[in-house]
Structure 1
Amino acid sequence: MKTLPWHDPLRVAALESALAERILVIDGAMGTMIQRAELDEDDYRGARFAEGFDAGHGYAAPPLAQDLRGNNDLLTLTRPDLIRSIHAEYLDAGADMVETNTFNATAISQADYRLEHLVAELNREGARLAREACDAAEARSPGQPRFVIGVLGPTSRTASISPDVNDPGFRNTSFDALRETYREAARGLIEGGADTLMVETIFDTLNAKAALYAIEETFDALGARLPVMISGTITDASGRTLSGQTAEAFHASVAHGKPLSVGLNCALGAKDLRPHVEALSGVAEAFVSAHPNAGLPNAFGAYDETPEEMAATLREFAESGLLNLVGGCCGTTPAHIAAIAGAVRGIEPRRPRVMPMANAA
């Protein structure tokens, strides 16, 4: 395998070394912080999209008559100052790893805004902004490496579940369509300087398999590799993903990707996620991650769990030997991440399970 021109291979070694020594802290919610900024349509459009089309391209871009507000990934291009500052806040709070603002930076999700042509740019620039923030944090604290997680979200469609209860056989996407857009997104993240790729918030395992396949295709095309992280979502009290798998079954379905880490995020708060993280920890050979929500949403869609409450729960996860990486999802802020970082500091990381030699592949 060759060295990527966009990536320092020593960073992979530094990441693996850090994981062997301590529990690493992932950042918190990007969307929550963007909501706090109370942006309007002009913020989302910026100068580039102000006239109702994409002025950043030299060809006739599609008219953009619909609102762009809510397309948080677009802020990477129109409000890079805000996205960079959010990364910096999380790093200052104690995060070792920051996730790129690319959760919906796929053609399938961007089609809602007629911005499919931006996928490569959104991912490349998303990773570049996160890389800049990490480099700045490292300059302020020499000897403390910070890492960029290139995020590949679930998309707004499911490959194995019908969106129409009256037609169970109907699908509004396909494995190949997902694979194509994930491949484009993955390459952009790598070119932008991501240290690792994370397929996250997985509620449909077939979507995740398309992402993992696309990642392998991208690595093969580049002749080089990055570590891959995988994080599923237990959707409710049933203890299963939306496509019907328990944590153990989900792990069995994705372990072939030989991930650096496998974990769970979103949908549930830490207390409700606890038994599923324990189950995952019992079967995973990889490192285990957890970045839950700040509790469950209240009647107004807000999250009420305080930093102290969330940190106390996650400290118990760590003391029980369940964690290698920990952070926050919906509703979490730099205050939550600071509390979590303090709560797990000094606790030994989980030791990855080693399969008996007779079963080793």
Structure 2
Amino acid sequence: MSHGVRWLHPRRVEALHEALAQRILVIDGAMGTLIQQHGFAEADYRGERFAEGYDRLAPGERVARDLRGNNDLLNLTRPDIIAGIHRAYLEAGADLVETNTFNATSISQADYGLQHLARELNREGARIAREACDATEASTPGQPRFVIGVVGPTSRTASISPDVNDPGFRNTSFDELRRAYADATHGLIEGGADVVMVETVFDTLNAKAALYAIEEVFDDLSARLPVMVSGTITDASGRTLSGQTAEAFHVSLMHARPLAIGLNCALGARELRPHVETLARVAQCHVSAHPNAGLPNAFGGYDQAPDEMATMLKEFATAGLVNLVGGCCGTTPDHIRAIADAVSGVAPRRQGGVE
């Protein structure tokens, strides 16, 4: 732990650092994959609060747009389902669970007309995860569990034009992103998150805005939480969408002094491995990896079996590349259980890089 730093949850931060020093920690798997298995209809997403035509948000305001697919809204309308997913991953052996807040920024929620609910969505997402962790810890007191407050990439990009005919056009700005990320971060902290993770980073400028906002929030509170950063290598080019290699991504963001830097999404473990190896060689902090369950099939699904994925991530571990592992798209509690078993007893990566 850093001496002289005022932590918001000092005991939990100390427990997290102790756990990282002792073993490879396991992050949970996909949230959206398990939500999709419920086959929710529009009414399930709306619940009573946002029932069709029901005026509850503000005077004269109605939610007229379709809300189906807004998984973050389930924090308010079906918290029982979200809590059950967290419990399933914790029972499978996850040490850390990610809040259901991937799109819970005002920018992303504007697509549904719910931008004013962003802070509440984050607060409730963290609260649900915190309660699940607390309940699991009560039955397994020797294994502390932690809440990762997820700050997603938003539906916009600050450094790339969405209009191929106008490369100078931007549909967002650094300041708009900063405000949205600050609002989300406040909510995550209010709900009890132990860590804030800027994840699935495809545009480094977005991530810089997020990290700037997070620091502003910490300054406002005169205390902080550990921060994690996880980028996304989008394809076989080995670069993020904004054009950076894993090493360049690392260099661009290490000023934030994160607890861990890593990669997630887009690729399976096999395709992600060389880029995780790059991070492991250069990073002066912990390294994380939570890949997809292989590459998507012709129908957009993921077919990689738990044992196959776990075998690959065990090789990451035995090669000394990682401190935290988990799963992204297509992974389930069965994947996390297999991964937890596979890395059990394997020493974590040494901070300072690998030879």
Measured against the shorter chain, the TM-score band is: over 0.9
Work out the CA distance in 1 between the residues paired with 2:147 and 2:348.
20
Work out the CA distance in 1 between the residues paired with 2:283 and 2:201.
17
Q: Which residue of 2 aligns with 1:50?
A: 51
Q: Which residue of 2 aligns with 1:99?
A: 98
Q: Which residue of 2 aligns with 1:8?
A: 9
Work out the CA distance in 1 between the residues paired with 2:202 and 2:319.
26
Q: Deviations over 1:199-258 (max 9, x none)?
A: 000000000000000000000001100000000000000000000000000000000000
Work out the CA distance in 2 between the residues paired with 1:258 and 1:61.
46
Deviation at 1:52, TM superposition (A): 2.8
Q: Deviations over 1:146-192 (max 9, x none)?
A: 00000000000000000011110000000000000000000110010
Shifted more, 345-354 versus 154-163: the winner is 345-354
Q: Which residue of 2 aligns with 1:25?
A: 26
Q: Which residue of 1 aligns with 2:323?
A: 324
- Is the 8 Å Cα contact of residues 281 and 353 (structure 2) preserved in structure 1? no
Equivalences for residues 266-281 of structure 1 within 5 A: 266-281=265-280
Deviation at 1:8, TM superposition (A): 2.9
Asked if 1:246 is matched to 2:210, the reply is no
**DSSP-derived class of the 1:10 partner:** helix
**Structure 1 outlier segments of 4+, above 6 Å:** 1-4
Equivalences for residues 81-120 of structure 1 within 5 A: 81-120=80-119
Work out the CA distance in 2 between the residues paired with 1:135 and 1:230.
25
Work out the CA distance in 2 between the residues paired with 1:101 and 1:295.
22
Q: Which residue of 2 aligns with 1:77?
A: 76
What is the one-letter code of the residue matched to 1:140?
Answer: S
**DSSP-derived class of the 1:111 partner:** helix
Equivalent pairs counted in the alignment come to: 351
Which ranges in structure 1 are unaligned for 5 or more consecutive residues?
356-361
Q: Which residue of 1 aligns with 2:294?
A: 295
Equivalences for residues 298-309 of structure 1 within 5 A: 298-309=297-308
Q: Deviations over 1:3-57 (max 9, x none)?
A: 67xx5310000001100100000000000000011111111000000043452x5
Q: Which residue of 1 aligns with 2:236?
A: 237
Q: Which residue of 2 aligns with 1:258?
A: 257
**DSSP-derived class of the 2:181 partner:** helix
**DSSP-derived class of the 1:173 partner:** coil
- Is the 8 Å Cα contact of residues 197 and 228 (structure 2) preserved in structure 1? yes
Deviation at 1:60, TM superposition (A): 1.5
Deviation at 1:65, TM superposition (A): 1.2
Work out the CA distance in 2 between the residues paired with 1:286 and 1:237.
26
Q: Which residue of 2 aligns with 1:182?
A: 181
Deviation at 1:94, TM superposition (A): 0.2
Over 3 Å counting, the alpha-carbon distance change for 1:230 and 1:61 in structure 2 is farther
Asked if 1:37 is matched to 2:33, the reply is no
Work out the CA distance in 1 between the residues paired with 2:29 and 2:311.
16
TM-score, normalised via structure 2 length: 0.97
CA RMSD of aligned residues (A): 1.3
- Is the 8 Å Cα contact of residues 295 and 304 (structure 1) preserved in structure 2? yes
Work out the CA distance in 1 between the residues paired with 2:196 and 2:203.
18
- Is the 8 Å Cα contact of residues 62 and 114 (structure 1) preserved in structure 2? no
Q: Which residue of 2 aligns with 1:359?
A: none
Deviation at 1:62, TM superposition (A): 2.6
Work out the CA distance in 2 between the residues paired with 1:354 and 1:65.
52
- Is the 8 Å Cα contact of residues 53 and 62 (structure 1) preserved in structure 2? no
- Is the 8 Å Cα contact of residues 46 and 79 (structure 1) preserved in structure 2? yes
Over 3 Å counting, the alpha-carbon distance change for 1:107 and 1:89 in structure 2 is same
Which ranges in structure 2 are unaligned for 5 or more consecutive residues?
none
- Is the 8 Å Cα contact of residues 2 and 223 (structure 1) preserved in structure 2? no
What is the one-letter code of the residue matched to 2:23?
Answer: R
Work out the CA distance in 2 between the residues paired with 1:147 and 1:139.
13
Work out the CA distance in 1 between the residues paired with 2:120 and 2:214.
17
Work out the CA distance in 2 between the residues paired with 1:164 and 1:14.
47
TM-score, normalised via structure 1 length: 0.95
What is the one-letter code of the residue matched to 2:206?
Answer: N
- Is the 8 Å Cα contact of residues 232 and 263 (structure 1) preserved in structure 2? yes
Work out the CA distance in 2 between the residues paired with 1:135 and 1:279.
36
Identity %: 73
Work out the CA distance in 2 between the residues paired with 1:318 and 1:298.
27
